[in-house]
Amino acid sequence: MSNTRVPPSIEPAAADAVAPCCPPLAERPLTAEEAEVAARMFKALGDPVRLRLFSAVASHEGGEACVCDISDVGVSQPTVSHHLKKLKEAGLLTSERRGTWVHYRVEPSVLAAMGKLLTAAPR
């Protein structure tokens, strides 16, 4: 498999990737493309450190948190930055620099989209 899906990382693709994602997993077999889009999001949450970072941001006041508030997850700060970058690339987080500190925010539509994916079919 060697498909270069490394986007130009100019962020606008991020918001795009989440909204029109896929039907619930139990509704229809996903197509290859749908699966690739959805798998990217699941993969981003498939690491304990990233999951903790994401949860920390999501549960923080206003769904927004400074790096300094969430960087206590047991790994070095460069690693934290690396994971945050990956979450951002996956379209799950957005970042904004407010003076000295950088604030990360959860993209609300992401939770909705992923939640819908895991909706049980009314069978």
Partner DNA sequence: CGTCTATGTTGACAGCTGTCGAAACAGGTG
Partner DNA sequence: CACCTGTTTCGACAGCTGTCAACATAGACG
Instruction: State the residues that interact with a copy of itself by CB under 8 A.
Output: 25-30, 32, 35-36, 38-39, 42-52, 54-56, 58-59, 62-63, 70, 73-74, 106, 108, 111-112, 114-115, 118-121, 123
Name the minimum Å distance from CB 52 to a copy of itself.
5
38 binds, options a copy of itself, DNA, none, Cβ within 5 to 8 A by partner type: a copy of itself
Separation of alpha carbons 55 and 63, rounded Å: 10
- Which x/- pattern over 74-103 shows residues binding DNA (rule: CB under 7 A)? -xxxxxxxxxxxx--------x-x-xxxx-
Q: How far is the CB of 89 from DNA (least distance, A)?
A: 10
Q: In whole angstroms, what is the distance from residue 65 CA to residue 98 CA?
A: 11
Q: Are 117 and 24 in contact (CB under 8 A)?
A: yes
The one-letter amino acid code at 19 reads A
CB of 53 to a copy of itself, least distance (A): 9
Query: Dihedral (C-alpha) 97, 98, 103, 104: value to the nearest 10 degrees?
Result: -50
Least distance to a copy of itself from the beta carbon of 42, Å? 4
Q: In sequence order, which ranges of the chain are alpha helices (DSSP H)?
A: 12-18, 32-44, 48-59, 67-70, 77-89, 108-117
